[in-house]
Chain A
Amino acid sequence: MALDKNQIAQRIAQEINDGDYVNLGIGIPTLVANYIPEKVNVILQSENGLLGIGPFPTDDNVDADLINAGKQTITYVKGATFFDSSRSFAMIRGGHVDLTILGAFEVSETGDIASWKVPGKMVKGMGGAMDLVSSAKNIIVAMQHTNKGQSKILKKCTLPLTGVSCVKKIVTDIAVLEVTANGFKLLERAPGVTVEEIVNSTEGKLIVEGEIPEMKLY
């Protein structure tokens, strides 16, 4: 069975270490916050100027001056700090953010990512994605492995790039892949999904070594 969005988020949450400063992108990455174990102490960065994102507010707790990068109303945790956009990106560009988790349309076997523009359709802009992928220490992509049967895990991206040689790991609905110097290395498969199915859904070079374990979702 392929994973749903929440299960992809659940699997990615296992990649977060105690003490990490993490930037979560819009979409599936935002859901990751729901699966971080309580004993793992993480500080979430929002590039519009907050370290220490809290849960969504209750109805009477909404403040228009307090939003995340997806423009959703949020709260902040104890010990949070606010700052302006230039400082926010200085901490991103300076490599102080340990982990960036974001979505993508395509990823290539050399770690290139395309996530911001589909030519011919409306162009909305790259927001902070190019800054994040060019500077975070560790970049994990959350995405669907295929789109209408077409692989999105490619030899070379077909869409305009967001960044080059930057993605370290990919968690899709059917597999966990590591980007290595020799191509995608298959690390795990979704429960019930066969290695053959993953091979058939992957256009880029896929390295399969030994037994591939099933993902554990907890």
Chain B
Amino acid sequence: MNKVVKNVYEAIEGIADNMTLMVGGFGLCGIPENSILALSKTGIKGLCCISNNAGVDDFGLGLLLKNKQIRKMISSYVGENAEFERQLLNGELEVELIPQGTLAERVRAGGAGIPAFFVPAGYGTEVAEGKEVRAFDGKMHLMETALKADFAIVKAWKGDTNGNLIYKYTANNFNEVMATAGKITIAEVEELVPVGELDPNCIHTPGIYVQRIFKGENYEKRIEQRTIKHS
């Protein structure tokens, strides 16, 4: 078993035009910076990106948007990005907005072999359009279907050579669940250690879900809303 790849370019090998990618992160927190930057230097285009957000103009998925590498975004919240807005209003970009919990659960279902399920979120709203509606215990629910991806790209704090992953604080967010739903899951980590060094009690993502792992470099970890206590 050799999951460790030499560098980010080896990690993203096989990602091609028109593929569907899951990209972990919430805002700019916990995004796979190395992989996104590397993708922005390829000519790969027509991507469908499943990611809670779309980055900002010059960072995160915003880099791929700027290069017009993304055909479609599946997200819950896409503010903070002027280039995104421009492309959307010009009809250059397709966008599917999904309630955040439904998005997370659709990804979880994709990784867990559950083709569809019912949730109450979005009932009576435009999210319900075209969806099967059913009452359970007197409450209305929408049928939602699983999401999967050709590649899932996640960022973890620590990982070992078997692909076991640990996330830090709220940088977990969509990473843990997306790691389960890629045909190929790429993990970039801040610290890569030999197998056996991570406490098995503390693993978030068991290595079974991860096909490729590498140690990322030069993490910028940009902060969107630096908020300080007034003392």
Residues of A within 8 A of B (CB): 46-50, 55-59, 62-74, 76, 82-86, 88-90, 92-93, 112, 122-131, 134-135, 160-165
Residues of A within 8 A of B85 (CB): 122
Known A70-B225, A84-B176, A92-B101: A125·B77 in contact at CB below 8 Å: yes
Q: Which A residues touch B125, using CB under 8 A?
A: 130, 160-164
B99 lies within 8 A of A126 (CB): yes
Q: Mark B77-118, 1 if CB is under 8 A from A, else 0.
A: 111000001001000000001011111110110000000000
Q: Across the interface, do A84 and B172 meet the contact criterion of CB distance under 8 Å?
A: yes
Which residues 179-221 of B sit at the A interface, judged by CB distance below 8 A? 204, 221
A93 to B188, CA, bound (A): 31
Known contacts A85-B103, A86-B105; can you find 8 more A-B pairs with CB under 8 A? A62-B223, A82-B169, A82-B172, A123-B78, A126-B127, A131-B101, A135-B121, A165-B124
Residues of B within 8 A of A69 (CB): 26
A92 to B101, CA, bound (A): 9
Q: Is B151 in contact with chain A by the CB < 8 A criterion?
A: no
Determine whether the beta carbon of B100 is less than 8 Å from that of A47. Answer: yes
Residue on B nearest A162 in the bound complex, by CB: B125
What are 25 A-B interface contacts by the 8 Å CB criterion?
A: A49-B26, A49-B173, A58-B231, A67-B27, A67-B224, A71-B225, A72-B226, A73-B226, A84-B177, A85-B174, A86-B108, A90-B101, A92-B101, A93-B105, A93-B119, A123-B78, A125-B76, A125-B79, A126-B77, A126-B100, A127-B77, A128-B76, A160-B125, A163-B124, A165-B124
A-B contacts, CB under 8 A, total: 180
Once A74-B227, A122-B85, A163-B125 are accepted as A-B contacts, the answer to whether A84 and B174 lie under 8 Å apart by CB is yes
For A131, give the chain B residue with the smallest CB separation: B101
Q: Which residues 48-92 in B have Cβ within 8 Å of A in the complex?
A: 52, 75-79, 85, 88
Task: Determine if A64 and B101 form an interchain contact, defined as CB atoms under 8 angstroms apart.
Answer: no
Given A64-B29, A74-B227, CB of A86 within 8 Å of CB of B104: yes
B207 to chain A, nearest CB (A): 17
The one of B107, B123, B223 in contact with A64, judged by C-beta atoms closer than 8 angstroms, is: B223
Provide the residues of chain B in CB contact with A68, threshold 8 Å: 170
Q: Is the CB of A73 within 8 A of B76?
A: no
Q: Are A58 and B228 in contact (CB under 8 A)?
A: yes
Among B85, B125, B172, max chain A CB count under 10 A is at B125
CA distance A73 to B226 in the complex (A): 5
B residues with CB within 8 A of A: 26-30, 52, 75-79, 85, 88, 97, 99-105, 107-108, 119-127, 157, 167-177, 204, 221-229, 231
Which residues of chain B have C-beta atoms less than 8 A from A59's C-beta?
228
Q: Contacts A84-B177, A85-B173, A92-B101 given: A124-B78 contact, CB under 8 Å?
A: yes
Of A68, A162, A165, chain B has the most CB atoms within 10 Å of the CB of A162
Report A68 CB to chain B, min CB distance, Å: 8
Q: What is the bound-complex CA distance between A74 and B173, given in angstroms? A: 15
- Residues of A near B108 (CB, < 8 A) are 86
- How long is the Cα–Cα vector from A33 to B136 in the complex, in angstroms? 35
| Residues A57 and B170 in contact, CB atoms below 8 Å apart | no
Given contacts A65-B221, A89-B101, A122-B85, contact A112 B227 (CB under 8 A): no
Whole-angstrom distance from the CB of B42 to the nearest CB of chain A?
26
Q: Which residue of A lies closest to B30 (CB)?
A: A65
